[in-house]
Chains A and B, each alone.
Chain A
């Protein structure tokens, strides 16, 4: 079973496609694959404590906490958080702050990498 690295760069408030990407992460994890979801750029907006991406116009978007519960390792880029003034202490449960080098680590380890 392959391991996957899914890199999300958009937030669900700007792109309705984010829901499908998170669904993919959940589906791969449920099939038994190791899945890392790395949030970078505006995608870290989703990780803010209190963010509600499951608003009616984007109802397919899963919560990050639910993804983490379902076995997806959810990481948020520390630089992107800092750029946007988001405190690493105010993130949704299940989201871990990580440097961008985590992406290179996963690529070097042979994870199948997909950017959205």
Chain B
């Protein structure tokens, strides 16, 4: 693809807390559908986004079981954008900040997520066409 781009996103928000997570993954999804190469550096609470242990749950207030509740899980969104990128000839390199992982015990992530350091973000930024940092407030 002649106009294939590489975009880097830095995410900081933990899942289930803010619309920024949804917007960030929407942006990544759009880039994935275009076949771009995408780098994601997950920092601080964002290392929980691909946490493998995320599970759907029942909701006693709604009177629904886990299947009926069909709770959205960010780890599934992460897997979906990775698959979307691959399907369109791109790749998504997701790096979780190792120190942030250790602090939070977020060691088990979905397949395709690797451990790194802020130096990886610097390398990503240096080799990308553009970078967007989405900070917490």
Q: Which residues of A contact B (CB under 8 A)?
A: 7, 9-10, 15, 40-42, 79, 100-101, 103-104, 107-108, 110-111, 113, 115
Please determine whether A41 and B20 come into contact, CB atoms closer than 8 angstroms. yes
B130 touches A115 (CB 8 A): no
**Across the interface, do B130 and A107 meet the contact criterion of CB distance under 8 Å?**
yes
Chain B residues near A (Cβ < 8 Å): 3, 5, 7, 19-20, 23, 26-27, 30-31, 34, 36, 129-135, 137
Q: Looking across the interface, which residue of chain B has its beta carbon closest to that of A107? A: B130
Q: Which residues of B contact A15 (CB under 8 A)?
A: 137
Task: Give me the 9 closest cross-chain CB pairs, A-B, nearest first.
Answer: A107-B130, A108-B5, A104-B30, A113-B132, A41-B19, A101-B30, A115-B134, A100-B26, A104-B31
Are the C-beta atoms of B23 and A41 separated by less than 8 Å? yes
19 extra A-B contacts, CB within 8 A, seeds A100-B30, A107-B5, A107-B130: A9-B19, A9-B23, A15-B137, A40-B23, A41-B20, A41-B23, A42-B19, A100-B27, A101-B30, A103-B27, A104-B31, A107-B7, A107-B129, A107-B132, A108-B3, A108-B129, A108-B130, A110-B130, A113-B132
Q: Is the contact region of chain A dominated by helix, strand, or loop, or is it mixed?
A: mixed
* Min C-beta distance of A99 to chain B, whole Å: 8
Q: B7, A115: Cβ atoms under 8 Å? A: no
Instruction: Enumerate chain B residues within 8 angstroms of A111, measured Cβ to Cβ.
Output: 130
Out of B3, B30, B129, B133, which one reaches A115, CB within 8 Å?
Answer: B133
Q: How far is the CA of A15 from the CA of B137 in the complex (A)?
A: 10
Do B20 and A104 touch (CB < 8 A)? no
Q: What separation, in Å, do the CA atoms of A7 and B137 have in the docked complex?
A: 14
Which B residue sits closest to A83, measured CB to CB?
B19
Chain A residues with Cβ below 8 Å from B20 are 9, 41
Bound form: Cα–Cα A7–B27 in Å: 12
Q: Are A104 and B27 touching (Cβ within 8 A)?
A: yes
